Structure formats: structure tokens, C-alpha cells
């Protein structure tokens, strides 16, 4: 296996077997995740994704957590329609995380929280309110969260998506400063979460929207996380979904090359939009898309911001990589 491929895909899949289209029962999803951790491709696997409100439901299946390294979890926040409801929900989520960690002691790690933002707080005219919300979240996480928790914030994708995405970028830039975070180190820097698919074809963002989100993360030095619709390596039309699905090599390749080579938005969108697997190659220490190339060291550095994607399947990503002769 090429070192550049391993650098690009190490710990990149957050297993979301509880969610559609797989939508497995909790017991089955946990057992799948436990098995994946023992298989040759375990190096690609990161966290188990679960709503914070469902953490207590793991208790009857606690024996699954007993073996191997501690189980890593990314928890989904309850959210809320306005700032007050959102903050109340976050407080409840952090309480659920604390109780979960107390029950399972050193067998679990919860280090990522994913939260959808209230639509009403997005847009350039609400930037101050959004900054206040994220600052409040930092304080709550620092006071009541686990030892190290990275929050990722998901904006709605409306007609005003460019303004909404930019507003989130501005709020992240304002709240991720060393000055604001001094004394609040339990809360790691906040990140941008982008939804890349869903049950409706309209849920799939355009390449331009993906590229703009990646550009914002690069310009604000904010982590990027994706979810939904990224089961396969390369962008393609999927008849069952009646949509053109994004590829994780496209999305994370664009993020990595964008950082390493300072690509502009249009150049990153071209990487995201490419449907030819042959244009993505891993030649020893180099990752290439067409004539663009990043070294393994550049890929590793960029992955500190291009964090992971949630997928309800772990089999599809690795099986497709094998079909492309990228995995041994």
C-alpha cells in the first residue's frame, strides 16, 4: 500500500451504522464496529457515531466494550430551534456524556461532538449572536465536558448558503482564537461539519458548495468534518439515490491539495467534481490528482484539518478501494 494513501485515509471513517440507509439496531451496529476494529483495514476507522441522548442505551450491551483499546465515540447534539433551546440541549448532552463516561470508566472516549446550528442564527446580520452562541458552547464544554472535546457545527444549506457558510467561518475564526481559548483547553477548536447527502437528491451539495466549505476551513484554520453520502471513493451517479454522490477521495483530496498547494475555490471544486478514478493516484510518497501532487508529509499535515466523514457503512468504502486496486 502506498504511504500517501495511508496518510490520506488513516482514521477517516466515523462509523454511523445507526443511521440511514443502514439504520442498524444499536446492538448490531456496536458489534459491527467492534469487529471492524480487529480487521486489516482498522487503520481507516475512527469513531462510533451516536446521538448523545442514546448513550444510556449502550448499557445493556456493555460487554461489547470490554476488549481492545477504549471505544471512541462522536456524539450528536440535540440542537434547538433558537439559541436558548440549543444551549439547554447542549447542557443535557454534556450531562449524558459525563454519565456515560462514569458508567464505563476507562473503556470509552468521547472526543467529538456534532451539532446542527439554529437556522435563525446564520447569515451575516446574525454574526454577533452566532459568536455568542459558540462562545457559550466553549464555556459549557470546558466546565462540564470530557477532558478533550472537539465541537463541529453544521449549518443549514439554504439558498443563502454562501452567506451562511461564511458566517460560520467568521464565528469559528472569532471563537477559535488563542486568547478566547486560554483557560478553556478542555474544549478544542471548533470545526465546520458539512452534510454531503441524504434521502433526497437535493440533500447533496454542489461541488462549489463543498469547495467553499473547504476554503473557509483553510482560511480560518478550522477543522472540517463531513457526513452522509460519502460511501464511495469517487464521485458518480447513483441510480438508487437518483443523485450524483460525492466521493471521499474527491472531497478529502480537494481539502488536502487545497491546503498543500493553496488551490483556489474553483480549483478545489474541480477536484470535487471529477468522476474519473484514474485521475486519482498514489505513487509511493505522492498523492496526485491529475498534474497536482502532495507529498505524504503535506497530506499528513492537511489531515489535521480534514478530519473525517461519517458513513453508515465501513464495508463499502474499503471494498470500493479494493476494486480500484488501492488496498491490498
Compute the average pLDDT of residues 127-144. 97
At 252, the pLDDT band (50, 70, 90 cuts) reads: very high
At 250, the pLDDT band (50, 70, 90 cuts) reads: very high
CA dist 31 and 297 (Å) reads 35
Compute the average pLDDT of residues 249-254. 98
Residue 328 has a pLDDT of 80
Residue 199 has a pLDDT of 85
Q: What is the CATH number of domain 3-322?
A: 3.20.20.70
Distance of CA 68 to CAs 34, 239, 263, 303, Å?
Answer: 9, 40, 41, 25
Task: Provide the whole-model pTM.
Answer: 0.97
Compute the average pLDDT of residues 119-130. 94
Residue 214 has a pLDDT of 98
Is the pLDDT assigned to residue 241 strictly greater than 90?
no
Residue 240 has a pLDDT of 84
CA dist 192 and 114 (Å) reads 9
Distance of CA 142 to CAs 75, 158, 185, 209, 293, Å?
Answer: 16, 31, 7, 32, 39
pLDDT tens digits, residue range 173-189? 999 999 988 999 999 99
pLDDT tens digits, residue range 261-285? 999 999 999 999 999 999 999 999 9
Q: Are 154 and 115 in contact (CB under 8 A)?
A: yes
Compute the average pLDDT of residues 186-208. 95
Residue 181 has a pLDDT of 87
Amino acid at each position: 500500500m502506498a504511504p500517501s494513501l495511508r496518510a490520506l485515509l488513516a482514521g477517516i471513517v466515523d462509523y454511523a451504522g445507526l443511521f440511514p440507509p443502514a439504520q442498524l439496531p444499536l446492538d448490531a451496529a456496536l458489534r459491527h464496529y467492534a469487529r471492524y476494529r480487529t480487521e486489516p483495514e482498522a487503520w481507516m476507522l475512527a469513531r462510533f457515531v451516536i446521538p448523545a441522548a442514546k448513550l444510556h442505551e449502550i448499557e445493556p450491551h456493555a460487554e461489547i466494550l470490554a476488549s481492545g483499546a477504549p471505544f471512541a465515540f462522536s456524539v450528536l447534539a440535540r440542537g434547538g430551534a433558537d439559541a436558548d433551546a440549543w444551549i439547554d440541549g447542549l447542557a443535557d448532552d454534556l450531562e449524558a456524556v459525563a454519565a456515560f463516561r462514569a458508567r464505563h470508566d476507562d473503556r470509552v472516549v468521547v472526543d467529538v461532538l456534532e451539532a446542527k446550528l439554529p437556522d435563525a442564527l446564520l447569515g451575516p446580520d446574525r454574526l454577533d449572536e452566532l459568536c455568542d452562541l459558540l462562545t457559550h458552547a466553549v464555556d459549557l464544554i470546558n466546565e462540564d465536558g470530557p477532558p478533550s472535546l472537539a465541537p463541529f457545527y453544521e449549518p443549514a444549506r439554504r439558498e443563502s448558503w454562501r452567506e451562511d457558510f461564511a458566517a460560520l467561518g467568521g464565528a469559528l475564526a472569532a471563537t477559535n482564537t488563542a486568547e478566547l481559548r486560554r483557560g478553556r483547553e478542555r474544549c478544542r477548536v471548533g470545526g465546520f461539519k458539512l452534510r454531503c447527502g441524504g434521502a433526497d437528491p437535493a440533500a447533496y451539495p454542489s461541488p462549489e458548495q463543498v469547495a467553499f466549505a473547504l476554503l473557509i476551513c483553510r482560511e480560518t484554520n478550522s477543522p472540517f468534518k463531513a457526513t452522509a453520502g460519502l460511501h464511495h471513493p469517487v464521485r458518480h451517479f447513483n441510480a438508487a439515490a437518483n443523485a450524483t454522490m460525492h466521493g471521499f477521495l474527491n472531497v478529502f483530496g480537494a481539502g488536502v491539495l487545497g491546503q498543500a498547494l493553496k488551490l483556489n475555490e474553483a480549483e478545489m471544486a474541480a477536484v470535487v467534481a471529477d468522476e474519473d478514478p484514474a485521475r486519482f493516484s498514489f505513487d509511493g510518497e505522492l498523492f496526485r490528482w491529475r498534474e497536482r501532487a502532495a507529498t505524504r508529509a503535506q497530506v499528513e499535515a492537511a489531515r489535521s484539518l480534514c478530519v473525517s466523514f461519517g458513513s453508515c457503512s465501513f464495508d463499502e468504502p474499503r471494498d470500493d478501494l479494493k476494486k480500484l486496486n488501492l488496498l491490498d
